[in-house]
Structure 1
Amino acid sequence: MILKYTFIGLVFLIGLFTNAAGQQTGLPYQDKTLDTDTRINDLIGRMTLEEKVGQLSTLLGWEMYDNSGDLATYSEVLEKAVRERHIGSLWATLRADPWTQKTLANGLDPEQAAHATNAIQEFVINHTRLGIPLILAEEAPHGHMAIGATVFPTSIGQSSTWNPELIREMAKVIAKETRLQGGHIGYGPVLDLAREPRWSRVEETYGEDPYLNSRMGIAMVTGFQGSDLMSGENVASTLKHFAAYGVPEGGHNGFGLSVGLRELHQSYFPPFRAAILAGAKSIMTSYNSIDGIPSTANPYLFRKVLREDWGFKGFVVSDLGSISGLRGSHRVAGSGEEAASLAIRAGVDADLGGNGFDRNLIAAVKKGWVGSAMLDEAVANVLRLKFEMGLFENPFVDPEKAKREVRKPEHVQLARQVAQASITLLKNEGNLLPLNKDIRKVAVIGPNAHNIYNQLGDYTAPQPESNVVTVLEGLQQKLGVDRVEYVKGVAIRDTTEQDIEAAVAAARAAEVAVVVLGGSSARDFSIQHEDTGAARVSQSENEIVSDMESGEGYDRMSLDLMGHQLKLLQAIQATGTPVVLVLIKGRPLLLNWPAGHIPSILEAWYPGQEGGNAIADVLFGDYNPAGRLPVSVPLSVGQLPVYYNYKVPSKHDYVEASAEPLYAFGHGLSYTTFDYQDLQVEVKGNAQDPAVSVQFTVTNSGQMEGDEVVQLYIRDLVSSTVSPVKQLVRFERASIPVGESKIFSFILGKEDLQLMDMEMNWVVEPGDFELMVGASSRDIRLKEKFELR
Structure 2
Amino acid sequence: MATKLSILLCFFFAFTLTFARNTPSTATADKPTSNVTRKNTHVCDPSRFSDLGLDMKDFAFCDPSLPYEIRVKDLVDRMTLNEKVDQIGDTATGVPRIGLPKYEWWSEALHGVSNVGQWNSVASFFDDVVPGATSFPTPITTTASFNQSLWKKIGQAVSTEARAMHNLGHAGLTFWSPNINVVRDPRWGRALETPGEDPYVVGEYAVNYVRGLQDVEGTENTQDLNSRPLKVAACCKHYAAYDVDNWLGVDRTHFDARVTEQDMKETFLKPFEMCVKDGDVTSVMCSYNKVNGVPTCADPKLLKDIVRGEWNLHGYIVSDCDSIEVMIDDHKWLNDNPEDAVAQALKAGLDLDCGNYYTKYANSSVTMGKVKEAEIDKALKNLYTVLMRLGFFDGSPKFENLGKDDVCSNEHIELATEAAREGIVLLKNFNSTLPLKSNEINTLAVIGPHANATSAMIGNYAGVPCQFTSPIDGFSKYGEVIYEVGCGETICKNESLIYPAVKAAKKADATILVVGLDLSIEAESLDRVDLLLPGFQTQLINQVASESKGPVILVIMSAGGVDIGFARDNPNIQAIIWAGYPGQEGGRAIADVVFGKYNPGGRLPLTWHENGYAEMLPMTSMPLRPVDSLGYPGRTYKFFNGSTVYTFGYGLTYTNFTYNLVSSTKSLHVKLNKFQHCRDLNYIEGSYKPPCPAILIDDLKCDDHTIKVEVEVQNVGNMDGSDVVMVYWTAPSGISEAPIKQLVAFKRIFVAAGGSKKVGFELNACKSLGIVDFRGYNLLPSGGGKMVVGDDLVSIPVQILFER
- Relative to the length of structure 1, the TM-score reads 0.82
Aligned match of 2:66: 34
State the SS of the aligned residue for 2:642: coil
| Cα 1:26–1:473 shift into 2, 3 Å | same
Written as runs of structure 1 = structure 2, the 5 A alignment for 1:97-108 is 100=119, 108=126
State the SS of the aligned residue for 2:265: helix
Aligned match of 1:581: 554
Aligned match of 2:592: 617
Equivalent pair of 2:443/2:510 in contact (CA under 8 Å): yes
| Cα 1:786–1:92 shift into 2, 3 Å | closer
Identity, in percent, stands at 30
Give 2:539's match in structure 1, choosing from 567, 576, 584.
567
Equivalent pair of 1:58/1:87 in contact (CA under 8 Å): no
Q: Deviations over 1:302-360 (max 9, x none)?
A: 1111111111121000011111111011110432112211211111100112x121121
Aligned match of 1:415: 416
Gaps of 5+ in 1: 61-77, 113-146, 522-547
Q: Return the offset for 1:18.
A: 6.7
| Cα 1:306–1:16 shift into 2, 3 Å | closer
Taking the aligned partners of 1:773 and 1:518, their CA distance within structure 2 comes to 32
Q: Return the offset for 1:757.
A: 4.4
| Cα 1:165–1:150 shift into 2, 3 Å | same
State the SS of the aligned residue for 1:710: strand
AA at the equivalent of 2:556: L
Taking the aligned partners of 2:782 and 2:228, their CA distance within structure 1 comes to 48
Q: Return the offset for 1:470.
A: 0.4
AA at the equivalent of 2:565: N
Taking the aligned partners of 1:732 and 1:559, their CA distance within structure 2 comes to 30
Deviates more, 1:230-239 or 1:736-745: 230-239
Equivalent pair of 1:492/1:562 in contact (CA under 8 Å): yes
Taking the aligned partners of 2:247 and 2:798, their CA distance within structure 1 comes to 41
Q: Deviations over 1:159-193 (max 9, x none)?
A: 00100101111110101111211120222111100
Give 1:773's match in structure 2, choosing from 789, 794, 801.
789
Taking the aligned partners of 1:177 and 1:294, their CA distance within structure 2 comes to 35
State the SS of the aligned residue for 2:554: strand
Taking the aligned partners of 2:660 and 2:41, their CA distance within structure 1 comes to 63
1:703 aligns with 2:680: no
Aligned match of 1:472: 472
Deviates more, 1:380-389 or 1:630-639: 630-639
Q: Return the offset for 1:660.
A: 2.2
Aligned match of 2:767: 751
Q: Deviations over 1:382-416 (max 9, x none)?
A: 01111111211228999994221100111100000
Taking the aligned partners of 1:17 and 1:300, their CA distance within structure 2 comes to 42
1:638 aligns with 2:656: no
1:368 aligns with 2:369: yes
Taking the aligned partners of 1:461 and 1:609, their CA distance within structure 2 comes to 11
Equivalent pair of 2:447/2:486 in contact (CA under 8 Å): yes
Q: Return the offset for 1:111.
A: 3.2
Q: Deviations over 1:729-784 (max 9, x none)?
A: 0011101112222222111212111233465443323322111111xxxx321212
Equivalent pair of 1:194/1:247 in contact (CA under 8 Å): no
Equivalent pair of 2:85/2:362 in contact (CA under 8 Å): yes
Aligned match of 1:533: none
1:492 aligns with 2:480: no
| Cα 1:95–1:622 shift into 2, 3 Å | closer
Written as runs of structure 1 = structure 2, the 5 A alignment for 1:714-753 is 714-718=729-733, 722-749=737-764, 750-753=766-769
Q: Return the offset for 1:519.
A: 1.2
Q: Return the offset for 1:447.
A: 0.7
Taking the aligned partners of 1:743 and 1:20, their CA distance within structure 2 comes to 64
1:244 aligns with 2:241: yes
Written as runs of structure 1 = structure 2, the 5 A alignment for 1:610-689 is 610-636=585-611, 637-639=614-616, 647=625, 659-678=642-661, 680-682=663-665, 683-686=667-670, 688=700, 689=704
Written as runs of structure 1 = structure 2, the 5 A alignment for 1:148-547 is 148-182=132-166, 183-227=172-216, 234-246=231-243, 250=247, 254=252, 255-277=255-277, 278-332=279-333, 333-353=335-355, 355-394=356-395, 401-438=402-439, 439-463=441-465, 467-479=467-479, 483-490=480-487, 491-496=489-494, 498-521=496-519
Taking the aligned partners of 2:558 and 2:48, their CA distance within structure 1 comes to 59
Taking the aligned partners of 1:721 and 1:686, their CA distance within structure 2 comes to 23
State the SS of the aligned residue for 1:360: helix
State the SS of the aligned residue for 1:236: coil
Taking the aligned partners of 1:185 and 1:386, their CA distance within structure 2 comes to 8
Equivalent pair of 1:694/1:747 in contact (CA under 8 Å): yes
State the SS of the aligned residue for 1:326: helix
Deviates more, 1:736-745 or 1:43-52: 736-745
Written as runs of structure 1 = structure 2, the 5 A alignment for 1:135-146 is none
Equivalent pair of 2:239/2:285 in contact (CA under 8 Å): yes
Gaps of 5+ in 2: 1-31, 167-171, 220-226, 634-639, 672-699
Q: Deviations over 1:237-273 (max 9, x none)?
A: 1111111112569585523321101211111111111
Give 2:578's match in structure 1, choosing from 599, 603, 615.
603
Equivalent pair of 2:83/2:95 in contact (CA under 8 Å): no
Taking the aligned partners of 1:17 and 1:170, their CA distance within structure 2 comes to 38
Q: Return the offset for 1:96.
A: 4.1
| Cα 1:242–1:705 shift into 2, 3 Å | same
State the SS of the aligned residue for 1:200: coil
State the SS of the aligned residue for 2:793: strand
Query: CA RMSD for the aligned pairs?
Result: 3.5
Written as runs of structure 1 = structure 2, the 5 A alignment for 1:17-166 is 20=52, 25-59=57-91, 88-92=103-107, 96=115, 100=119, 108-109=126-127, 111=129, 147-166=131-150
Taking the aligned partners of 2:203 and 2:181, their CA distance within structure 1 comes to 10
State the SS of the aligned residue for 1:697: strand
Taking the aligned partners of 2:442 and 2:41, their CA distance within structure 1 comes to 64
Taking the aligned partners of 2:490 and 2:449, their CA distance within structure 1 comes to 6
Taking the aligned partners of 2:716 and 2:53, their CA distance within structure 1 comes to 74
Deviates more, 1:263-272 or 1:614-623: 263-272
Equivalent pair of 1:196/1:641 in contact (CA under 8 Å): no
State the SS of the aligned residue for 1:181: helix
Q: Return the offset for 1:600.
A: 0.7
AA at the equivalent of 2:508: A
Equivalent pair of 1:349/1:382 in contact (CA under 8 Å): yes
State the SS of the aligned residue for 1:568: helix
| Cα 1:730–1:253 shift into 2, 3 Å | farther
Taking the aligned partners of 1:767 and 1:550, their CA distance within structure 2 comes to 44
